[in-house]
């Protein structure tokens, strides 16, 4: 009970210290409000206002229909250019897509032949290139089928695929990005706040005060973990409720309470990691340089931005030992698909196990730091 009392009182001291730091408080406020809002509204993975041009060498009814089918908000009004203008225009980046309809296309189509349409794509913007190509292919195929059917020719396919998009029926990237931004910010702030708490003790000289008190290193470390974890979990939950649901109007079908519980387990792991990193640094600039590559790897390779299946096999296997990988899987299952604890307990167990290892390593390093003073 004495140890629990020490952990509680030290944690309260951490909360007071954090509240008096306007920079960190401003960072927390910005990260879970404005940053979530701007990323959700500013980053688009679906096609919006793509610049498209047409090289219409056929000048036929079907080419006019294809041009008229490329409509906003997916595409800007298409411009008809000559074949000589195409390469210079794409070199300048004027158009993301240039569709070339060859001469005699409609004649060959009505004759039962299989004429080709060339689609030139600026693949430097990979996401736009991939999604836009699929959009244009579907639009052209639909117009061709309608044109052939109106001409009295058979165009019924032997089978039809009916797609059903679950959990995000309109395929809006905002729904995905807003929630992933919240979970990603949890990782970043957990490392920063916990590490900053240790560095702050050293820079202010209060580490010496702790050394002469009847405290054990485990009590000091656990106090920093629960205090900083409480702040981040509270900020993340408020961000989901007020910013994601309220301001952005994005439905979150899953249980926020289950998410908060899982986030608490995850914070145990990541704040331990932040404390361990802080024991290798003497100043905040050093800690920042050390922490940046760590949470960039955790965030980018957790499976939220890039599918784990698309990674090389050694990297895919190695990321299974990252708590961020399992927490991302947990967060997506709970917040997107409404999964309960009966479906996500394995991810939580993995996070807790990895967190126990991180905590043991952080305690070892923290003890050495305190003994050195």
Confidence of residue 109 (pLDDT cuts 50, 70, 90): confident
109-137 as b/e, with b when 16 or more CB fall inside 10 Å? Answer: beeeeeeebeebbbeeeeebbebbbebbe
- pLDDT value at 301 more than 90: no
pLDDT at residue number 163: 64
**Cβ contacts of 201 within 8 Å, gap of 6 or more:** 207, 210
194 vs 240: CA distance, rounded Å: 22
Same domain? For 80 and 33 the reply is: no
Please check whether residue 178 is in contact with residue 244, taking contact to mean a CB–CB distance below 8 angstroms. Answer: yes
Using one digit for the tens of pLDDT, what is the confidence trace for 204-261?
A: 767 667 666 777 878 888 888 899 899 999 999 999 999 999 999 888 888 999 999 9
pLDDT at residue number 41: 84
- pLDDT value at 73 more than 80: yes
Domain end marker among 150, 185, 216: 150
Average pLDDT, the chain: 86
Does the predicted TM-score (pTM) go above 0.85? Answer: no
Using one digit for the tens of pLDDT, what is the confidence trace for 4-51?
A: 888 888 889 889 888 888 988 999 999 999 999 988 887 777 788 889
Please check whether residue 304 is in contact with residue 184, taking contact to mean a CB–CB distance below 8 angstroms. Answer: yes
Same domain? For 76 and 188 the reply is: no
- Here the CATH number for the domain that contains residue 94 is 3.40.1710.10
Is 161 within a domain?
no
pLDDT at residue number 151: 66
Q: Which domain, by its residues, includes 195?
A: 2-43+172-372
Is 159 within a domain?
no
Confidence of residue 131 (pLDDT cuts 50, 70, 90): confident
Count of domains observed in the chain: 2
- pLDDT value at 152 more than 70: no
239 vs 257: CA distance, rounded Å: 13
Q: Measure Cα distances from 43 to 40, 48, 174, 175 in Å.
A: 6, 11, 8, 11
Using one digit for the tens of pLDDT, what is the confidence trace for 183-194?
A: 889 998 999 888
34 vs 213: CA distance, rounded Å: 41
Confidence of residue 157 (pLDDT cuts 50, 70, 90): very low
373 vs 366: CA distance, rounded Å: 10
Same domain? For 354 and 207 the reply is: yes
Ranked by mean pLDDT, the top range of 118-127, 271-280, 301-310 is 271-280
Is 166 within a domain?
no
For residues 127 and 343, the model is more confident at: 343
Is 97 within a domain?
yes
Same domain? For 188 and 226 the reply is: yes
Closest CA to 355 of 227, 269, 272, 271: 269
* Mean per-residue pLDDT, 87-100: 90
Q: Tell me what percent of the residues of the chain surpass a pLDDT of 70.
A: 93
Q: Is residue 84 helix, strand or coil?
A: helix
Is 160 within a domain?
no
Using one digit for the tens of pLDDT, what is the confidence trace for 334-366?
A: 998 888 898 899 999 999 999 999 999 988 888
């Amino acid at each position: 009970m004495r140890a629990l009392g020490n952990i509680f009182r030290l944690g309260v001291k951490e909360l007071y210290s954090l509240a008096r730091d306007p920079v960190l408080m401003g960072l927390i406020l910005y990260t879970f409000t404005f940053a979530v809002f701007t990323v959700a509204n500013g980053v688009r993975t679906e096609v919006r206002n793509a610049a498209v041009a047409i090289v219409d060498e056929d000048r036929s009814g079907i080419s006019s229909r294809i041009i008229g089918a490329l409509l906003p908000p997916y595409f800007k009004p298409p411009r008809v250019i000559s074949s000589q203008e195409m390469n210079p225009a794409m070199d300048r980046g004027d158009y993301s897509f240039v569709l070339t309809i060859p001469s005699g296309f409609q004649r060959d189509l009505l004759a039962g032949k299989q004429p080709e349409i060339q689609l030139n794509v600026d693949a430097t913007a990979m996401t736009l290139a991939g999604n836009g190509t699929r959009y244009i292919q579907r639009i052209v195929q639909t117009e061709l089928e309608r044109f052939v059917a109106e001409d009295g020719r058979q165009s019924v396919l032997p089978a039809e695929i009916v797609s059903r998009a679950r959990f995000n029926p309109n395929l809006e990237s905002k729904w995905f990005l807003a929630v992933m931004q919240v979970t990603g910010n949890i990782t970043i702030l957990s490392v920063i706040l916990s590490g900053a708490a240790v560095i702050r003790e050293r820079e202010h000289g209060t580490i010496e005060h702790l050394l002469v008190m009847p405290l054990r290193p485990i009590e000091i470390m656990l106090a920093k973990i629960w205090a900083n974890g409480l702040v981040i979990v509270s900020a993340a939950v408020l961000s989901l409720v007020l910013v994601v649901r309220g301001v952005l109007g994005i439905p979150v079908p899953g249980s926020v309470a289950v998410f908060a519980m899982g986030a608490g387990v995850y914070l145990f792991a990541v704040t331990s990691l932040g404390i361990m990193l802080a024991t290798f640094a003497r100043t905040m600039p050093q800690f920042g340089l050390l922490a940046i590559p760590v949470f960039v790897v955790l965030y980018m390779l957790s499976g939220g931005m890039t599918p784990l299946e698309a990674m090389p096999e050694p990297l895919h296997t190695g990321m299974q030992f990252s708590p961020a990988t399992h927490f991302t899987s947990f967060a997506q299952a709970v917040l997107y698909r409404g999964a309960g604890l009966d479906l996500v307990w394995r991810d939580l167990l993995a996070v807790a196990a990895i967190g126990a290892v991180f905590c043991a390593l952080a305690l070892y390093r923290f003890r050495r730091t305190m003994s050195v003073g």
